[in-house]
Amino acid sequence: MGGFNFLPQRTQSTQRITLVTSVLNIVSFVTNYYLHFPTFSLMINLLFVYGTLLQPGNDFAEYLNLNCTYVSPGKIRGLLYDIGEYPGAVITNNTDGYIHGSIFKLLHPKENLRVIDNYEGFGPEQDHPNLYIRSVVSVETDPGFVNAWIYLYNLPVDGLLQITAGNYAEYIEQKKIPR
């Protein structure tokens, strides 16, 4: 014999819809939380670097090489600027240009990001506005796309020289050649 149902059919259906809506709202909140507050999201263990962290002789590049594993080259759609002693990446869909760099796997994401955050001028203890912000981007690689952390330039770029080829290492080499 079936159980006796005290609730009208419409109420049970409404409860199911409310439950599904609540679950979707929770999933949406968690997703937005991790995207908007990347300091607390350590689910991503890849880092895309495009500038001084790739330069031989840079102490933090050496830190990266000792505490991370090189994965592959990659590129993202955006613009790269010469900030002076380092480059600054700006994400924009209004360009055909790419920023070229390398992907590293963070061996100890929390500690690795803390060290690099400090180097990049990102975090609550840094000057505000932060020089860079850490964000998650989709990086194009030969086999496909991967999500990785990136440090994006966080100040105005008006008047800065754009690195049109999007490759900081090549740009630095070209600057060394006397003309």
pLDDT in tens, 146-175: 999 999 999 999 999 999 999 999 999 998
3-class DSSP state of 98 = strand
For residues 74 and 71, give the distance between their C-alpha atoms in angstroms, rounded to a whole number: 9
Identify which of 35, 164, 146, 174 has the alpha carbon closest to the alpha carbon of residue 100: 164
**Which are the contacts of 151, defined by CB distance < 8 A and separation ≥ 6?**
49, 89, 116, 120, 122, 132, 133, 134
Q: Between 94 and 134, where is the model more confident? A: 134
3-class DSSP state of 131 = coil
**Which are the contacts of 179, defined by CB distance < 8 A and separation ≥ 6?**
none
pLDDT at 143 over 60: yes
pLDDT at 122 over 60: yes
For residue 93, the model assigns a pLDDT of 83
H helix or E strand, kind and range, residue 83: none
pLDDT at 26 over 60: no
H helix or E strand, kind and range, residue 82: strand 68-82
Q: What is the mean pLDDT of residues 105-132?
A: 96
pTM listed for this prediction: 0.75
Rg, Å, the chain Cα set: 22
For residues 87 and 8, give the distance between their C-alpha atoms in angstroms, rounded to a whole number: 64
pLDDT at 111 over 70: yes
